[in-house]
């Protein structure tokens, strides 16, 4: 599929902001965030420059997996409000120039979903084939996703005497995607939310969705799993015109290309770049840009209509599973040396500022990278103010703490007593008394003001989302320099991973001889010599965004 109308590709230059309604703002004082609270903070997100709001699961749930255990795909959890509140949020967001996407969790349901309740009544129940059953558990099918919580991917249902598959938790039975009735149900779910105004979905754990290995009857396996993914993309296109499927695909590069649909680009619209993210942390640990550069150069070409989503932090553990064992230990030693900071033997439950010991130079350098890398930047709520984690919380809940709006005891998240909050606020040096929106919005030198400025420059520079990417050679491995060219325009970004200042040579070719480089983030312009070269001074952990401007161009930045 090749789309030529760039107006349909809004996501190529979007600023995506992920939040959990439950932890963003509690409007009614019951200790749980809600849609009414989110509606009152959409102006804040507009001010920040967000163009796409990604909502984590808000569906009715027993809440044993932070909302990913869903018992009704067509509703809103009553703690958060109701459908009317959600529709109001979508309407206000669109009035503010923001689209809204939501998590699509269709690998499994809660064991309290009506489908599963029916399925376990008897082996011949009409809903039985909505799930995956076997007479005996399958040995050697791989380690559970959460090895500290589960020892098998199969659980015995004593009433019917069969085992059901659960790749995640035992209270999340896997849906049988090979059943055409289940696929029809998924289409209805997607159609419902698109009709209510969503602009697409973040698709949870996509490789697990297409894996039919647990189904015993080979005739029932999907003959073309990626054909099914293409059908989902086509469905979204028919129903919304320009809707997006943003996929979670943490796989090696050669397999990631398959999930885009190769040169046709007719499967996932976007994918998170887990490999670049993991190598970013390795580069930070080593003060060496080369691991990140190699990861970016390994991206498959695919379709120009596909896009990578760049991120520094997400709502799960900060996985390092694609690094080698020794590389992972390097990152652990640098950023998570304590056992409580690590999880599942493969990731960290920390946010960026504490990992970098609060060094504002390194923190700002990383967010400069996020917004200047080729692709679409994704922020996790609170990153714009430098929130930390609560290591007293269990597992991944360490980074799913209440948003810190003010310096009060609950960070302005709720009027309820701190003991009434589902998740405690971050303690210590990253507590609301020290890190909050209110104080940073008033401070032009705050991280919030810096990130907001990056967003503005990114949105004014379509080269970052559309441009052809080129790494510019550097003699010092600590420096990452790259250019992005689009529609006759060029931007250049340089980042110093070392703590000491240095000088980075740039060579843009004789065709650029006599041109100038305008500093996009402030400062005097640089002049290229007749050979198209210049030297750029970088502070320790310093960075520059530069725009190539011809001598005849009067435009100033």
Catalytic positions, written as ranges: 204, 248
Residue 206 and residue 248 in contact, taking contact as beta carbons nearer than 8 Å = yes
User: Where are any strands of DSSP class E within 460-519?
Assistant: 468-471, 479-486, 489-496, 502-507, 516-519
Q: Are strands 307-311 and 376-380 parallel, antiparallel or unpaired?
A: parallel
Q: Are strands 52-55 and 133-134 parallel, antiparallel or unpaired?
A: unpaired
Residue that the structure tokens 């699509």 belong to: 104
Q: Which residues pair with 398 in a beta bridge?
A: none
Among residues 88, 73, 71, 109, the alpha carbon closest in space to that of 37 is found at 88
Among residues 343, 366, 347, 545, the alpha carbon closest in space to that of 456 is found at 545
d(CA 289, CA 208): 32
d(CA 134, CA 160): 11
Q: Which run of H or E residues covers position 336?
A: none
C-alpha count within 13 angstroms, C-beta hemisphere, residue 467: 23
d(CA 191, CA 208): 22
Rg over alpha carbons for the chain, rounded to the nearest Å, is 24
Cα 524 off chain centre by: 35
Residue 352 and residue 363 in contact, taking contact as beta carbons nearer than 8 Å = yes
Q: CA dist 249 to 67, 195, 204, 259, 275, Å?
A: 20, 26, 9, 8, 10
Report how far apart the first and last C-alpha atoms of the chain are (Å, whole number): 37
Reported residue count of the chain is 557
d(CA 67, CA 82): 15
d(CA 293, CA 494): 12
């Amino acid at each position: 599929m090749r789309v030529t109308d760039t107006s349909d590709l809004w996501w190529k230059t979007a600023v995506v902001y992920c939040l959990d309604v439950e932890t963003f703002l509690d409007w009614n004082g019951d200790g749980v965030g809600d849609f009414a609270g989110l509606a009152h903070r959409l102006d804040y997100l507009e001010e920040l420059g967000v163009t796409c709001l990604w909502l984590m699961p808000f569906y009715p749930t027993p809440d044993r997996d932070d909302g990913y255990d869903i018992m009704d795909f067509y509703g809103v959890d009553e703690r958060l409000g109701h459908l009317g509140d959600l529709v109001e949020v979508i309407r206000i967001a669109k009035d503010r120039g923001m689209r809204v996407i939501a998590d699509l969790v269709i690998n499994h349901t809660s064991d309290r979903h009506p489908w599963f309740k029916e399925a376990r009544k008897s082996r011949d129940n009409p809903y039985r084939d909505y799930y995956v059953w076997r007479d005996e558990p399958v040995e050697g099918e791989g380690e559970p996703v959460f090895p500290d919580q589960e020892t098998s991917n199969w659980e015995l249902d004593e009433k019917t005497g069969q085992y059901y598959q659960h790749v995640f938790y035992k209270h999340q039975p896997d849906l049988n995607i090979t059943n055409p009735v289940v696929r029809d149900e998924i289409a209805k779910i997607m159609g419902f939310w698109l009709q209510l105004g969503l602009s697409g979905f973040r698709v949870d754990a996509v490789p697990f969705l297409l894996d039919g290995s647990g189904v015993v009857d080979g005739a029932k396996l999907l003959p073309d799993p990626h054909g099914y993914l293409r059908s989902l993309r086509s469905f979204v296109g028919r129903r919304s015109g320009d809707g997006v499927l943003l996929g979670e695909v943490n796989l090696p590069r050669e397999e990631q290309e398959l999930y885009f649909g190769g040169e046709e680009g007719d499967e996932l619209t976007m994918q998170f770049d887990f490999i670049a993210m993991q190598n970013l942390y390795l580069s930070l640990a080593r003060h060496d840009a080369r691991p990140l550069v190699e990861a970016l150069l390994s991206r498959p070409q695919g379709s120009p209509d596909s896009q990578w989503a760049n991120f520094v932090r997400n709502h799960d553990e900060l996985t390092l599973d694609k690094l080698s064992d020794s590389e992972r230990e390097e990152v652990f030693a640098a950023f998570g040396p304590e056992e409580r900071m690590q999880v599942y033997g493969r990731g960290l439950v920390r946010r960026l500022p504490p990992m970098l010991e609060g060094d504002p130079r390194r923190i700002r350098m990383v967010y400069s990278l996020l917004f200047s890398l080729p692709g679409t930047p994704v922020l996790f709520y609170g990153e714009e103010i430098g929130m930390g984690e609560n290591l007293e919380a269990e597992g991944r809940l360490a980074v799913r703490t209440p948003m810190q709006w003010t310096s009060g005891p609950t960070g302005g998240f709720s009027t309820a007593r701190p003991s009434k909050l589902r998740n405690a606020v971050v303690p210590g040096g990253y507590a609301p008394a020290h890190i909050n929106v209110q104080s940073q919005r008033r401070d032009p030198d705050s991280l919030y003001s810096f990130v907001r400025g990056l967003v503005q420059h990114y949105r004014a520079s379509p080269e970052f989302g559309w441009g052809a990417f080129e790494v510019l050679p550097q003699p010092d491995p600590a420096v990452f320099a790259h250019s992005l060219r689009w529609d006759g325009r060029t931007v250049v970004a340089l980042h110093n991973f070392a703590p000491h200042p240095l000088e980075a040579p740039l060579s843009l070719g004789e065709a650029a001889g006599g041109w100038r480089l305008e500093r996009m983030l402030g400062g005097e312009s640089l002049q290229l010599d007749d050979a198209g070269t210049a030297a750029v001074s970088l502070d320790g952990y310093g960075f520059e965004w530069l725009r190539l401007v011809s001598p005849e161009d009067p435009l100033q930045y």
